[in-house]
């Protein structure tokens, strides 16, 4: 237990997270994550016979030399915030989820960057296993910024860290960077604008009219509106997420939607000119709920900001195609093969 951030409970140290190893492109050949169920180094030889010998060898090499994965929970006021650290001697990255997404959304990102960067993931209250212990289910932007600061302290993320975010997570990142000027060196913000466009407003209003028991319809509206480019397996996960979502989290989801509609511009909430971190806005060419014109306007309000457009991608970017990470190469460079960390 630590007193760094309220109370922090370490749940596990030195734990291997096998799904990462299964999905990594070892020897940079693609491994089908659905064919393996790895449980221990010894289990590799028993459970991965369908892999080439060199691929098995590289997995074992990664398993032996990759640092620990640390899991814990932060008690912050009325909230419980689970976090996960992928230990590494490399530069620090803190990832912020989008609305009603969880740490699981970063799976392909972890596969790409865990061998080279120290990654910190966490769930806000109402996401994944994050909890609102008391009070209203809605978590304000100021509360989210406070939580991010506590996560930074509890996980030991340094002031040279990069914050990577998706959608609303970018709002939290900008508010944090505006308030704490020297707490982050770089912001990499995906699928973010300054206001809800007509399609987003229409989607939120349609969702608010659905019977709360018709979870399938809720998921269908989201997918049809801005998730049409997602692979089928991710679409199925979204449907399952809505079907299993607690009533409390569903209320928080609705309240957040109404808040987005009522907020005219992000500039009303955040002093964007205060952001000193180098900032990159990643925009999918086919994003239906974020307009490129608005992304460019947002970039013009942040002192050191660049827009990167991903051709053929929609709102969910790397959840749609892993090769989208190629656009990140000059933002988050990966060492050449001879300089890998494992």
Percentage of the chain with pLDDT > 90? 40
Would you report the helix, strand and coil content of the chain in percent, each value rounded to 5?
Answer: 45, 20, 40
Q: What is the pLDDT of residue 27?
A: 28
Q: What is the pLDDT of residue 335?
A: 73
269 vs 156: which has the higher pLDDT: 156
The whole-angstrom separation of Cα 98 and Cα 316 is 10
Q: Which of 163, 186, 190, 189 is nearest to 278 (CA)?
A: 186
- With 60 as the cut, is the pLDDT of residue 84 above it? yes
Convert the pLDDT of each residue in 280-320 to its tens digit.
999 999 998 899 999 999 999 999 999 999 998 888 887 87
Q: Which domains does the chain have, with CATH numbers?
A: 7-14+71-339 (3.40.50.1820)
- With 60 as the cut, is the pLDDT of residue 157 above it? yes
Task: Choose the most confident range, by mean pLDDT, from 19-28, 56-65, 331-340.
Answer: 331-340
If pLDDT is split at 50, 70 and 90, which confidence band does 190 have? very high
**Average pLDDT over the chain, rounded to an integer:** 80
Q: What is the 3-state secondary structure (H, E, C) of 183-235?
A: CCCEEEEECCCCCCCHHHHHHHHHHHCCCCCCHHHHHHHHHHHHCCCCCHHHH
The whole-angstrom separation of Cα 332 and Cα 192 is 19
- Asked if 92 and 157 touch (Cβ cutoff 8 Å), the reply is yes
Burial of residue 46 (CB within 10 Å: 0-12, 13-18, 19+) is exposed
Lowest mean pLDDT among 33-47, 180-194, 210-224: 33-47
- Asked if 62 and 115 touch (Cβ cutoff 8 Å), the reply is yes
Q: Which of 78, 66, 85 is nearest to 11 (CA)?
A: 85
For helices 215-226 and 198-208, what crossing angle results, to 10°?
170
């Amino acid at each position: 237990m630590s007193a760094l951030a309220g109370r922090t409970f370490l749940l596990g140290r030195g734990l291997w997270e096998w799904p990462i190893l299964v999905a990594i492109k070892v020897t940079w050949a693609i491994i089908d994550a659905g064919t393996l169920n790895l449980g221990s180094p010894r289990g590799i030889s028993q459970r991965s016979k369908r892999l080439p010998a060199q691929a098995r060898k590289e997995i074992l090499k990664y398993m032996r030399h990759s640092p620990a994965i640390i899991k814990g929970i932060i008690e912050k006021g009325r909230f419980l915030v689970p976090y996960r650290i992928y230990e590494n001697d490399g530069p620090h990255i803190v990832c912020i989820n989008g609305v009603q997404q969880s740490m699981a959304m970063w799976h392909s990102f972890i596969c790409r960057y865990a061998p080279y960067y120290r990654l910190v993931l966490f769930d806000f209250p109402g996401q994944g296993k994050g909890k609102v212990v008391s009070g209203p289910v809605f978590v304000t932007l100021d509360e989210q910024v406070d939580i991010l600061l506590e996560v930074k302290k509890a996980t030991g993320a340094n002031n040279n860290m990069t914050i990577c975010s998706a959608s609303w997570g970018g709002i939290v990142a900008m508010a944090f960077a505006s308030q704490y000027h020297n707490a982050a060196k770089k912001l990499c913000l995906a699928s973010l604008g300054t206001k809800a466009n007509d399609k987003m407003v229409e989607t939120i209003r349609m969702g608010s009219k659905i019977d709360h028991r018709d979870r399938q319809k809720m998921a269908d509206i989201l997918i049809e509106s801005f998730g049409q480019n997602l692979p089928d397996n991710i679409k199925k996960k979204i449907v399952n997420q809505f079907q299993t979502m607690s009533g409390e989290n569903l209320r928080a989801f609705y309240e957040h939607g109404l808040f987005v509609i009522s907020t005219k511009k992000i500039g009303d909430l955040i002093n964007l000119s205060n952001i000193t971190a180098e900032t990159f806005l990643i925009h999918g060419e086919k994003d239906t709920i974020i307009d490129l014109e608005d992304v460019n306007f947002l970039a013009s309000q942040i002192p050191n900001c660049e827009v990167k457009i991903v051709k053929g991608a929609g709102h969910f970017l790397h959840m749609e195609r892993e090769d989208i990470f190629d656009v990140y190469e000059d933002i988050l460079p990966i060492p050449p093969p001879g300089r890998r960390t494992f």
